[in-house]
Amino acid sequence: MVTFTLNGKELEVKEGTTLLEAAREQGIEIPTLCYHEEMSTYGACRLCLVEVVRRGWPSIQPACLYPAREGIEVNTDTERVRKSRKVMLELYLARSPDSQVIVDLAKEYGVRDTRFKLKESERSECILCGLCVRACAEISKRHAISFAHRGSKRMIQTPFEELADTCVGCQACAFVCPTGVIKIDEAD
């Protein structure tokens, strides 16, 4: 067991428990877009950032990846945490200005506009959270989609941009997509 402090409350959790899991067990809501309890953690969205004080040194860490450690202090709602989340939401608004999920989350944090400007060709409702890729690989065991390219050209796609033979139409990718950008065409 590991003992640490979460928002001023001392907790004891099983070793290996992430800060996100510990917070949720306490009813503390931490926003996420790339986390799913049935899949490996990826830490892509960076919305679950929390402030961790370890050996007197504060740092901002993703709660979905950071394990509870003996003696650390964790705060989920400090000024640094709010600023970090706001910056991430500004980036998401620049990429996905038409995504209702992003717009709603941004409003919740007081973000109405973004200082980051992207070309129209760089915008997408896909926020590159990786949930669909992991669902296809880890749940469906099909590996029909993956990340392609780097930087602003990064995207999710099938091999060679063609319908993958390994895709069985299970719709796991669409089910886990937080923005609803993946649509499944119903066959006649």
Model confidence pLDDT, tens digit, residues 70-119: 999 999 999 999 999 999 999 999 999 999 999 999 999 999 999 998 88
* CA–CA gap between residue 65 and residue 177 (Å, rounded): 20
Is 131-176 assigned to CATH 3.30.70.20?
yes
* CA–CA gap between residue 31 and residue 24 (Å, rounded): 11
Handedness of CA 166, 169, 136, 152 (dihedral sign): positive
Looking at residue 162, what is its pLDDT?
Answer: 82
Q: Do the Cβ atoms of 119 and 81 come closer than 8 Å?
A: no
65-88 burial, b at 16+ Cβ within 10 Å, e below that, comes to ebebeeebbbbbeeeebeebbebb
Looking at residue 13, what is its pLDDT?
Answer: 97
Specify the pTM: 0.89
Looking at residue 119, what is its pLDDT?
Answer: 85
Among the listed residues 10, 148, 152, the one whose alpha carbon sits nearest the alpha carbon of residue 72:
10
Is 2-76 assigned to CATH 3.10.20.740?
yes
* CA–CA gap between residue 138 and residue 178 (Å, rounded): 17
The sheet that has 9-13: what strands, in order across it?
Answer: 9-13, 2-6, 73-75, 49-54, 57-62
Looking at residue 122, what is its pLDDT?
Answer: 83
Among the listed residues 147, 142, 146, the one whose alpha carbon sits nearest the alpha carbon of residue 171:
142
Quick check: do 2-76 and 131-176 share a fold? no
Domain ranges of the chain: 2-76, 81-122, 131-176
Tokens representing 57 are: 């040194």
Q: Do the Cβ atoms of 176 and 36 come closer than 8 Å?
A: yes
Helix (H) or strand (E) segment spanning residue 86: helix 79-95
The stretches in the chain having pLDDT less than 70 are 187-188
Residue for token pair 């899991």: 21
